[in-house]
Amino acid sequence: MEFSLTEDQLAIKDLSAQVLADLSTDERLKALQEKGEVYDKDLWQQFADSGLLGMAVPESYGGSGFGLVEICLMLEEQGRYVAPLPLLPSLALAGLALAEYGSEEQKTQYLTALATGESILTAALAEEGLSNPHKTVLNAEKNGDQYILNGTRVCVPYAKESAVVLVPATQEDGKTVIFLVTPGTEGVELEYQESTNGEPLYTMTLSNVSLSQAQVLAGADKGEEAYKFMVDRGNVCHAATQVGIAEEALKRTVEYTTERKQFGKSIAQFQGTTLRCADAYMDIEGMRSTYWQAVWKLSENMPAEPEVRAAKYWACVAGGRVVHTAQHLHGGIGADIDYPLHRYFLWAKRNELNLGGGSLQLAKLGALLADKESVVNVL
């Protein structure tokens, strides 16, 4: 396993950090929230103008031709600044899948617009009441040259703002097909949902939505593979974001405890504070090592399900411990919504629940290690 980064990768990480440091300040985040802005449009365009949105887009479609590693480096920095941007759904969930499975026409239409910042992309993977995102209840019925879709998806990020949504559905024979659904298509209804961290989510209801073969991303022969492709990369990208969130939460906590005085000295000098921060540091390093192992294996097209499960488990459990420590050591001010720390707790909780929480990941990992059927009910 190779952990070292190339010069290009380091440059991508540094550029992402520079753009975010300039435009995603605590004051700006508060102002955007007060205005009710669902994402930072100026920052999104700055990412496009800097070439960052096209990092994982093939060169023939206006990008730089990089991949998952570079996306994860950007997402770590996004987590560090809790910047409201649709990077993960656009680049990781939809962009990589389109680059891997899309037709020439689909790639030209959507990836080129993504690289320039003209379009946001997303995918509908979550379902109400199901702990397993691979299990779908959205149905696709073949009717001549058309597909008729019926069903509901919940918690679809940026659905209303996106040019297209990647939607998995199940045929009568039980096989999965991935469709490209435009939000404005007849029969598609979107209902806004509140999220913990302010990310715009929507319930997406499809009622007799008619789609042509041109709107199929992956047919029955490749559908389940494409679905797993999206979920695996989504999980490690949530883990990458969680590392950035946790690192910055700990950094701010160390700074605060150094300045905060009690009984005549800073609380950072108390053993209890020191031990909590040390435990948080070790949790972050565990998160980092597990997720990079998963990223490396996926980038090399190697089987990586145990590594992906382990990475997401650590992101859920260890990430939660770190932000709880940050809140605790800040005392009452940590829970004040006028103080920036609360954003890190809310973002961490959102990442934890996306695509299955720690209990599901651990149960799945246990089933894999026991060489048993991996369909596990943890409800």
Looking at 172, 203, 221, which one is the last position of a domain?
A: 221
d(CA 176, CA 266): 58
Task: Count the domains in the chain.
Answer: 3
d(CA 324, CA 280): 10
Per-residue pLDDT tens for 152-174? Answer: 999 999 999 999 999 999 999 99
* pLDDT at residue 129 tops 70: no
The predicted pLDDT at position 132 comes to 56
**Domain-embedded: residue 377:** no
Question: Are residues 331 and 290 both part of a single domain?
Answer: yes
Query: Are the C-beta atoms of 118 and 67 separated by less than 8 Å?
Result: no
The predicted pLDDT at position 109 comes to 97
Question: Are residues 169 and 306 both part of a single domain?
Answer: no
Per-residue pLDDT tens for 181-206? Answer: 999 999 999 999 989 999 999 999 99
Question: Are residues 287 and 200 both part of a single domain?
Answer: no
Strand partners, 169: 177
Is residue 207 classed as helix, strand or coil in its secondary structure?
strand
Number of C-beta neighbours around residue 30 at 10 A: 14
Query: Are the C-beta atoms of 253 and 194 separated by less than 8 Å?
Result: no
Q: Domain holding 150: CATH number?
A: 2.40.110.10
Per-residue pLDDT tens for 293-327? Answer: 999 999 999 999 999 999 999 999 999 999 999 99
- How does the average pLDDT of the chain come out, rounded? 93
Is 0.75 surpassed by the pTM of this model? yes
Looking at 120, 147, 167, which one is the last position of a domain?
A: 120
d(CA 87, CA 89): 6
**Domain-embedded: residue 76:** yes
Q: Domain holding 310: CATH number?
A: 1.20.140.10
Work out whether strand 164-170 and strand 121-123 pair parallel, antiparallel, or are unpaired.
Answer: parallel
How far, in Å, are 28, 68, 100, 200 from residue 120 at the CA level? 22, 18, 18, 13
Question: Are residues 242 and 274 both part of a single domain?
Answer: yes
How far, in Å, are 14, 25, 253 from residue 76 at the CA level? 11, 16, 18
Question: Are residues 353 and 254 both part of a single domain?
Answer: yes
* pLDDT at residue 246 tops 70: yes
Q: Give 370's pLDDT tier (boundaries 50, 70, 90).
A: confident
**Domain-embedded: residue 128:** no
Question: Are residues 171 and 103 both part of a single domain?
Answer: no
Question: Are residues 78 and 156 both part of a single domain?
Answer: no
In the chain, the amino acid numbered 280 is: A
**Domain-embedded: residue 75:** yes
Question: Are residues 63 and 18 both part of a single domain?
Answer: yes
CB-based burial label for 214 (10 Å; 0-12, 13-18, 19+):
exposed
Question: Are residues 266 and 194 both part of a single domain?
Answer: no
Per-residue pLDDT tens for 335-347? Answer: 898 999 999 999 9
Provide the residue range defining the domain that includes 161: 139-221
Per-residue pLDDT tens for 28-57? Answer: 999 999 999 999 999 999 999 999 999 999
Q: Give 1's pLDDT tier (boundaries 50, 70, 90).
A: low
Give the residue-averaged pLDDT of 103-119: 97
**Domain-embedded: residue 154:** yes
Strands (E), the chain: 121-123, 139-143, 146-157, 164-170, 176-181, 188-193, 201-212, 216-218, 261-262, 265-266
Q: Give 374's pLDDT tier (boundaries 50, 70, 90).
A: very low
Looking at 221, 253, 273, which one is the last position of a domain?
A: 221
Q: Give 373's pLDDT tier (boundaries 50, 70, 90).
A: low
In the chain, the amino acid numbered 323 is: V
Question: Are residues 215 and 241 both part of a single domain?
Answer: no
d(CA 190, CA 184): 9
> Buried b / exposed e across 119-147, counting CB within 10 Å, b at 16+?
bbbbbbbbbeeebbbbebebebeeeeeeb
The predicted pLDDT at position 3 comes to 67
Least confident of 9-23, 96-110, 136-150: 136-150
Say which DSSP state 174 is in: S
